[in-house]
């Protein structure tokens, strides 16, 4: 992993934006997705939903969270996406090697109770490492018990049940078409789940 300070990252972002701004061309009339499509996918940095579906900026809404799960907040965004931005096709894109598959509510809660800083994966087990010095001044917290982390075991079943949650939600109209996919991060294949 590249060791880079937050200050350097921010400088890079501001500098890069100057190039972006000088070439920026507006190619849309409104914020309504041209394909009337909303995609819910994982925040995993190996996934570029525009590239894997060969769509362009302006074609779709993209909502992301850890695990591409149908949470209260993703439902909020999807309902707004249809109600005010006219999307009628919703796709949930899970992916292989998803971190939320390797975790459980208990693992997350126990690790956070002990220590808030980044855990390490050793022989397939997440652990809090011994820390010699740290800038963090805050201790671990039981607050993790109050959060639903939306980890999952069976990916296919989870995807299908999340689609059902959406279809049965009182704020989701029945004419919305909802599809589930699993993206293979190694082969690049996007597989429709039925
Ligand atoms: Zn993921």
The residue extents of the domains of the chain are: 30-101+151-193, 104-146
Question: Over 90: is that where the pLDDT of 29 sits?
Answer: no
Cβ atoms of 150 and 66 within 8 Å: the answer is yes
Question: How many whole angstroms from 28 Cα to the centroid of ligand 1?
Answer: 30
Cα 21 to averaged position of ligand 1 atoms, centre (Å) = 31
Q: What pLDDT shows up at residue 92?
A: 98
Res 162: pLDDT = 98
Instruction: Tell me how far the alpha carbon of residue 32 lies from the centroid of ligand 1, in angstroms.
Output: 27
pLDDT in tens, 7-27: 999 999 999 999 999 999 887
CA of 81 to the centre of ligand 1 (A): 22
Q: Which CATH architecture has domain 30-101+151-193?
A: 3-Layer(aba) Sandwich (3.40)
- Residue carrying structure tokens 């740290």: 134
pLDDT average, residue stretch 83-103: 96
In order of 6, 34, 86, 173, 176, the CA distances from 79 in angstroms are: 35, 17, 10, 9, 10
d(CA 3, CA 170): 47
Please tell me the distance from the alpha carbon of residue 35 to that of residue 49, in angstroms, as a whole number.
Answer: 14
Instruction: Calculate how far, in angstroms, residue 62's C-alpha sits from the geometric centre of ligand 1.
Output: 15
> How far away, in angstroms, is 126 Cα from ligand 1 center?
16
Q: How far apart are CA 70 and CA 97, in angstroms?
A: 19
Give, in order, the Cα–Cα distances in Å from 75 to each of 47, 119, 123, 181, 193.
Answer: 21, 30, 36, 18, 20
Distance 43 CA to ligand 1 centre (A): 6
Determine the pLDDT at residue 132: 82
Question: Tens digits of per-residue pLDDT, 133-147?
Answer: 788 999 999 999 999
pLDDT in tens, 109-130: 999 999 999 999 999 899 999 9
Residue pair 159/95 in contact by the 8 Å Cβ criterion:
no
Average pLDDT over residues 168-194: 98
Do 188 and 95 form a contact (C-beta atoms < 8 A)? no
């Amino acid at each position: 992993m590249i060791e880079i300070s937050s200050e350097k990252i921010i400088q890079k972002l501001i500098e890069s934006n100057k190039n972006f701004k000088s070439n920026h061309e507006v190619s849309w009339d409104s914020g309504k997705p041209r394909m009337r499509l909303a995609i819910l996918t994982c925040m995993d940095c190996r996934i570029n939903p525009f590239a894997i579906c060969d769509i362009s900026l302006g074609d779709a809404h993209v909502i992301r969270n850890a695990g591409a799960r149908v949470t209260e907040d993703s439902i909020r965004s999807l309902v707004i996406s249809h109600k005010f931005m006219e999307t009628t096709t919703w796709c949930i894109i899970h992916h292989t090697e998803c971190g939320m598959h390797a975790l459980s509510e208990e693992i997350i809660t126990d690790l956070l109770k002990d220590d808030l800083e980044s855990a390490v994966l050793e022989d397939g087990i997440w652990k809090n490492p011994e820390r010699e010095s740290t800038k963090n001044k805050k201790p671990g917290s039981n607050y993790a018990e109050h959060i639903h982390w939306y980890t999952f075991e069976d990916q296919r079943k989870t995807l299908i049940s999340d689609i059902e949650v959406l279809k049965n939600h009182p704020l989701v109209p029945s004419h919305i078409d909802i599809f589930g996919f699993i993206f293979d991060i190694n082969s690049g294949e996007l597989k429709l789940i039925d």
